[in-house]
Structure 1
Amino acid sequence: MREVTIILVLLFSSSLVAAFCPLDKIHRVGHCSYRIVCINTISDINLDSECQGSSNYNVQVDVILQNASDTFHVGADPELFTMITTLSIHGNWPRTELSFLDNMYRLRNLHIINNNIQQIFNSPFQNLVSVENIDLSYNRISNIEDLFQFETRPFKMHSISLAHNSIVEIPGYAFEELSSLVELDLSYNYIRELREEPFSNLTNLQVLRLNNNKIKDLNGALHNLLNLRHLYLRSNEIQKFDMGTINTINHLETFDLSKNLIETIDPTLFPRHWKHLSNNSICRIMLSDNHIAHIPNASIEVFERFRRNSNKPIYVFTKLDLSNNSITNIEYNAFSLMQIISIDLSNNRLTDFIVNADDLIYVRYLNLSSNYLNRLYYESFSSMHNLQNFDLSHNYMEYFPDQSLSNTHSLKYVNITYNDILELHSLRITFHPEGGYLDLSNNGLSSLIIPENEAIGLKELALNSNNISDAYLIRLTDQHNLTRLDMSNNFIVELDESSLQLPEKLDYLDISFNDIYRIAPSAFIRLNNLQTLRLSHNQLKVIDHGVFRGLSILMNLDLSFNEIGQLDSKVFMDLKMLSLLSLRNNGLNILDNDGWLSRKQDLTVYLDDNNLSCTWLAKALTDFNRGYSRMHPSVLKPVLTGNSIQGIPCKQEVQNLEYPSAKYMTDERLLIINQNILEAVQEQTSLLRKFMWHSILQDAERKTALNVVQFA
């Protein structure tokens, strides 16, 4: 039985004009389902007979048409256009009637994006009885008065996008026939005024995007949007809103009024976002980047009225964003009735944070950064048992607010960077069972002692950019869960065997960007679980033998940006598992790699910006490539100019000492020749050794035979 195949065939015209729908742009993606890319026009496409006009199969023909004029359909087969279900067109049509849509009664998705359309005449969509989505974004359309008129009301219409156009006014009956519409995007236009009429029939609308316009007042435009769930009004010129503004919208899940000109908040507004929402719903209220200075108490009266009219308990959570305002005062019961799980108050003017703790029971994320706080109050935090992420950075705290956080047992991340903390006497907090991260960087700490019964569960600690000059004053041996420690950007000058009072479980230590000039032998002896050690950007000139004693499983060592001119690889003999070594930007002249010849696993050594000779580098690369050595010279950034081999910079020796004016070789081809000569010498040496060994064996055999004859 002959297998039936469904093929789209593009017929070439007898003229010399290029194909309109190239065969390599025709893709079958399923049974009676095709994806086609055409140029200039859609022509001479034949579907298999069982898919043409079929009611038994869900025929889908998605066409992308490029470089088309709006009359591309003239002379084309109208039957072909009836088969298209998705059409995306790219062209340049300042004024158009979109007359090619007349016979496309199966069209479901239409995308005419970025076509420079300024005006659309008549009502081109009136015959699209199956249309679901129309996208006219990124054009220059200004008039939409008669645009969405239909012979038969389009009950399947789901979404319309007119974003990024030039619309200034929405006519009263522009969307009258679109009662089935679920999503409407009018963002990035020039709309100044809203009225009720254009939206009065959009009773099924769930998503309305009016962001990035010039709207000053809602004027009751949203009163009939009974099913609206997501309202975006960001980046407008709205100065006020109240209960009357969104009188009938009681169930918004997203309410974005950020980046407007709002100065006051109506306390009766927030409870209205709870009604009709299902349990465990999350309501997002975004009021960032306004001019709000005061957060009043919530309206208990309004809440009680809604609660009495509700037949079920209310379990709706709220994410509230009030960042980038001018808030100086928050009343005690401001967050009542909202069941907040996230609140962002960053970049305001708060000098204190005193609120009803019972209103913050569910809070997981709290951002108080970039304010003027110098203390916290236990009463506000006493019930925050669910707090996980707390940001107190960029304030004026002089001590760690450990008493305020003593009742929290779920903390995962605490950020207290950029404060005025000079010393810490206690850290009575408990982190999440999975471990917690504490960032105390950019303060004034010179010492820190955390006993065993404090900072329980601390896994990562950042102490970078403080005033630490003596590492011995950072005593963390009792922090048995601590695995990562960052002490970079401090003033540590020396390390000895007693300097690092750190837990044995530590596997990552960063002491880069300090002033370390000397590391005594056995300085890291107690850190036998360390896997990464960063010592870059210090003042090290010499690495003594035994410095890395005890680091038997260290895998990554960074010694870059120091002043190590000479280095003996034998100082790394204790690092059996080392796989990455960075020696970048040290000015290395001599690197003796004999200590690596017996390594059992590969070691990558980064050598950017050093002064090693090309002869040494050529030999090291040859030894690695031939398997004599497991040390692989490499760079992070290969160089393209100057002396280099395989992108690794090197210094070429003077070739003729009798003539001091002789120049260094600069041609990389000579360096490659030099490397090949070294390889040839090594090969000849190997052959000579084999020949000598063979000769010795032959002499021994002759002597043995002679002795046998004499004995006989």
Structure 2
Amino acid sequence: MFSNLLLLWSLSHDLYITGGTFFAPKQQFWNNQNLSSVPLDLDVRLRRLDLSNNFIRQLHTLALPYLEQLDLSNNQLDLISDEAFENLARLEHLNLSRNGLNINAGSNSKALQSLGSLRSLDISRNGLSNDAVQLYLRRKSSLDQLKMTGNALTRLSHTLFRENIHLRTITIDDNLISEIAPGTFEPLSQLETLNLAKNNLGHICDFKLYQVKYLNLSRNSVEFFVTRENQHSYSLEILDLSYNKLLYFPIVPKKNHLKYLYLQNNMLGALGSEAAMVSEANSLYNEIVRENVAMKNNLHAIWRQMPLFYIDLSYNHFTSFPLETLSLLSSLESLHFSHNCLQSIDWNIRNYSDSGLIRQLSFHSLKHLNLQSNALVYISPHFLKALTQIETLNLQENFMQPCASAGNFISSLSTQQTILSTSCAAFGQLRTLKHLNLRENNIKILQLNTFLRTSLVSLNLAKNQDMEMHEGALDGVQATLQSLIISEINMSSSHLSLPCMPALTQLNISNNRLDKMPNTLNCSLLKEIDIRNNAFRTLNHSLIHTLSKNLTVMFISGNNFNCCDSSWLKTLNEMKIKLPDISRTKCFTSDQNVMMTEYLKSPSSYCLLHKEAQEVNFGQMIVIVIFLSVLLTVLIMFSRKLCNIQKSFMV
């Protein structure tokens, strides 16, 4: 036994002496320690070292042969000795962000040239100029990731990455770049991610980065993005042009893999009609590529081939919906069109002949459409008919009125038919619709069979002040509806009629004038219910007992509950239902208002007087009844006796 222990000790000792790393600490954290220099007693076996957020100004030789990651970010580093990194043969990740590397850039950059295995380098926020950056990037052939956020770069030259040909990810956001020389990124054959956000780029005239998959040009001053038509296959999958000054849709590479296109917060639509915008974009393309051929619709020809899955056009200047351009995107599933200037979505499309036939377009793949915060009053039934696969429709903060039933819309497109004149929306056309948001639309009345033939799972009707709800408004969706929001409508219990909804799991009836919960809820499988800010004094104990079998969360604050009529609360406590706002919930007794949490600590003491008062009142009533009965009997007997005496005198 002793010999085995001795052998084990000997092996572990040998590992330690020879620099073995089996028992070596893998990392040490010296961040936020107010250090002015690197600690001298560092373990030579370290693999990761964090010295961030200190006050280190100078860096001398580091004898850490196994170190793989070093974080010196957010110090005051402005002087690195030539030998500082010579013994860091395994270093792969170096973070020097938020220092003063713009000072002594010439000598400091020489120290980094010894890092032959470096894969990731962060030199962000060092105030580096164009020339200084080029010095720091010398002899970095192994570099895979480079981050230079928040420096002072103004121009990218074709020689900048000459010695970094294996780069896969480059981040140069938040600089002052207004010019990129041809050939700057093209030689980087492995480049996949390029982030140039928050710079001063004004346009992209001829995009040639065939290898890039993700390109971020957001928050620049880009007015147009044009790619010359060619036969090269591009790898581009994500293009972010948000927060720019785009007037036109981008003309992207003809052969691409583009799936996500971000165009929010631009000036798209400012030119007026869709036709004008498309025509201007095509003219610009011909001018840039200097083609003398007859005008053709390059924009539509290229968009027709895009395998786009998602596009964000929110916060632009559209006054009309670009039906023809967007209908070309045969793979489009999600479209964000919120916060524009639409008042109507009309079916203003060009016909191919003079036959009078209305041309029908289709959005075959579109599942999610966000039209929130426009000023929509009218949506053409032809447009609704084109949404053959729609599942989610967000119309929050518009002025849309739902039609009474699904029978009032156009079902065919014959030559003699005219577009439906009414301004209401016939949601019954949308057979695949599952999620509908009609919050804050100033809806006046929800009529019979409003959502018949849809497949609604969730419905939001909140903030439609004083909306009247027909008793059969939810007919047709009571079997599928799982979430219902009818808060902030100023509705009383006498005007709230809900059908039996066996699939309902979430109900929000907060901020109304309700004093009773609909008894039809007893057939629902509610898991969450919100009754805040109503006029409830008590809740139906039988109903609560039924609901508590499935209920997990209930919000109750902002009501005027009677403390001494709260058997429903006892049931919720016994079933361990979560009441997240009970600490803000008040109830009243015969003589005071108390917090519900205080009442629950000693309910008998608060309601004892209430019970005694009830008992006293009952006893007093009995005494009074007996007293009145006796008094009445005496009076009757006295009156009879008096009558007899009077008769005897008369005789």
- TM-score, reference length from structure 1: 0.67
In the alignment, structure 1 segments of 5+ residues that lack a partner are 7-31, 33-46, 64-84, 175-194, 304-314, 641-647, 655-662, 682-712
Match of 1:320 among 215, 229, 234: 215
Alignment of 1:507-518 (within 5 A): 507-518=457-468
8 Å CA contact 2:345, 2:383 repeated in 1: no
8 Å CA contact 2:525, 2:547 repeated in 1: no
The secondary structure found in structure 2 opposite 1:271 is: coil
* One-letter code aligned to 1:580: E
The answer on 1:364 being equivalent to 2:259 is yes
| Compared CA separation, residues 601 and 199, structure 1 to 2 (3 A) | closer
**Distance in 1 between the 2:243 and 2:77 partners?**
38
The secondary structure found in structure 2 opposite 1:289 is: coil
Corresponding residue of 1:563: 513
8 Å CA contact 1:94, 1:119 repeated in 2: no
Corresponding residue of 2:368: 437
| Compared CA separation, residues 347 and 5, structure 1 to 2 (3 A) | farther
Corresponding residue of 1:20: none
**Distance in 1 between the 2:3 and 2:386 partners?**
75
**Distance in 1 between the 2:181 and 2:194 partners?**
13
8 Å CA contact 2:159, 2:184 repeated in 1: no
* One-letter code aligned to 1:650: C
The secondary structure found in structure 2 opposite 1:639 is: helix
8 Å CA contact 2:257, 2:307 repeated in 1: yes
Question: Any idea what the Cα deviations from partners look like across 1:279-312, whole Å, max 9, x if unmatched?
Answer: xxx622222111122222257xxx9xxxxxxxxx
The answer on 1:246 being equivalent to 2:183 is no
Question: Any idea what the Cα deviations from partners look like across 1:227-282, whole Å, max 9, x if unmatched?
Answer: 333222221111111213333444432222221112223343342233xx3xxxx6
Corresponding residue of 1:211: 124
In the alignment, structure 2 segments of 5+ residues that lack a partner are 279-296, 348-359, 405-423, 613-651
Corresponding residue of 1:185: none
Match of 2:394 among 438, 444, 462: 462
**Distance in 2 between the 1:330 and 1:459 partners?**
32
The structure where helix makes up a greater share of residues is 2
- Deviation, structure 1 residue 114: 4.3
| Compared CA separation, residues 60 and 171, structure 1 to 2 (3 A) | farther
Question: Any idea what the Cα deviations from partners look like across 1:118-159, whole Å, max 9, x if unmatched?
Answer: 446xx5535x44444444444434321255165xx5533434
| Compared CA separation, residues 132 and 247, structure 1 to 2 (3 A) | closer
Identity in percent: 20
Alignment of 1:283-362 (within 5 A): 283-298=192-207, 316-333=211-228, 338-353=234-249, 355=251, 358=254, 361-362=256-257
Match of 2:558 among 604, 609, 612: 609
Question: Any idea what the Cα deviations from partners look like across 1:352-373, whole Å, max 9, x if unmatched?
Answer: 22526615x3211111111111
The answer on 1:488 being equivalent to 2:439 is yes
Corresponding residue of 2:489: 538
Corresponding residue of 1:638: 582
Corresponding residue of 1:413: 334
8 Å CA contact 1:413, 1:438 repeated in 2: yes
**Distance in 2 between the 1:320 and 1:571 partners?**
54
- Deviation, structure 1 residue 518: 2.7
8 Å CA contact 1:408, 1:429 repeated in 2: no
Alignment of 1:255-294 (within 5 A): 255-274=170-189, 277=190, 283-294=192-203
**Distance in 2 between the 1:139 and 1:636 partners?**
44
* One-letter code aligned to 1:273: L
The secondary structure found in structure 1 opposite 2:213 is: strand
- Deviation, structure 1 residue 323: 1.2
Match of 2:15 among 35, 48, 54: 54
- Deviation, structure 1 residue 350: 1.7
* One-letter code aligned to 2:172: L
8 Å CA contact 1:98, 1:124 repeated in 2: no
The answer on 1:497 being equivalent to 2:448 is yes
Question: Any idea what the Cα deviations from partners look like across 1:159-211, whole Å, max 9, x if unmatched?
Answer: 4444444444356565xxxxxxxxxxxxxxxxxxxx6x555555544323221
**Distance in 2 between the 1:216 and 1:501 partners?**
62
Question: Any idea what the Cα deviations from partners look like across 1:368-419, whole Å, max 9, x if unmatched?
Answer: 1111111363742533441011011111212222211223232221001111
Match of 1:156 among 68, 86, 90: 90
The secondary structure found in structure 1 opposite 2:254 is: helix
- For these two proteins, the number of residue pairs brought into alignment is 546
8 Å CA contact 1:119, 1:143 repeated in 2: yes
- Deviation, structure 1 residue 553: 2.2
| Compared CA separation, residues 464 and 258, structure 1 to 2 (3 A) | same
The secondary structure found in structure 2 opposite 1:320 is: strand
**Distance in 2 between the 1:678 and 1:580 partners?**
35
8 Å CA contact 2:99, 2:125 repeated in 1: no
Alignment of 1:101-120 (within 5 A): 106-119=45-58
- Deviation, structure 1 residue 674: 4.8
The secondary structure found in structure 1 opposite 2:239 is: strand
Corresponding residue of 1:81: none
The secondary structure found in structure 1 opposite 2:464 is: coil
Corresponding residue of 2:355: none
Could you tell which deviates more after superposition, 153-162 or 460-469? 153-162
Corresponding residue of 1:689: none
Corresponding residue of 1:169: 103
8 Å CA contact 2:98, 2:124 repeated in 1: no
| Compared CA separation, residues 620 and 679, structure 1 to 2 (3 A) | farther
**Distance in 2 between the 1:651 and 1:296 partners?**
72
- Deviation, structure 1 residue 589: 3.5
**Distance in 2 between the 1:613 and 1:60 partners?**
68
Could you tell which deviates more after superposition, 52-61 or 550-559? 52-61
8 Å CA contact 2:85, 2:114 repeated in 1: no
Corresponding residue of 2:569: 621
Alignment of 1:120-135 (within 5 A): 123-126=60-63, 128-135=64-71
Cα root mean square deviation, aligned:
3.9
Question: Any idea what the Cα deviations from partners look like across 1:600-644, whole Å, max 9, x if unmatched?
Answer: 834465321101211112x22335567xxx8x886431226xxxx
Could you tell which deviates more after superposition, 408-417 or 500-509? 500-509
| Compared CA separation, residues 228 and 348, structure 1 to 2 (3 A) | same
The secondary structure found in structure 1 opposite 2:582 is: coil
Question: Any idea what the Cα deviations from partners look like across 1:680-704, whole Å, max 9, x if unmatched?
Answer: 99xxxxxxxxxxxxxxxxxxxxxxx
| Compared CA separation, residues 134 and 439, structure 1 to 2 (3 A) | closer
**Distance in 2 between the 1:438 and 1:3 partners?**
75
Match of 2:477 among 527, 530, 548: 527
* One-letter code aligned to 1:380: L
8 Å CA contact 2:435, 2:457 repeated in 1: yes
**Distance in 1 between the 2:390 and 2:510 partners?**
30
| Compared CA separation, residues 140 and 601, structure 1 to 2 (3 A) | same
The secondary structure found in structure 2 opposite 1:581 is: strand
**Distance in 2 between the 1:3 and 1:413 partners?**
71
Match of 1:232 among 147, 164, 189: 147
- Deviation, structure 1 residue 463: 0.6
| Compared CA separation, residues 445 and 132, structure 1 to 2 (3 A) | closer
Corresponding residue of 2:526: 578
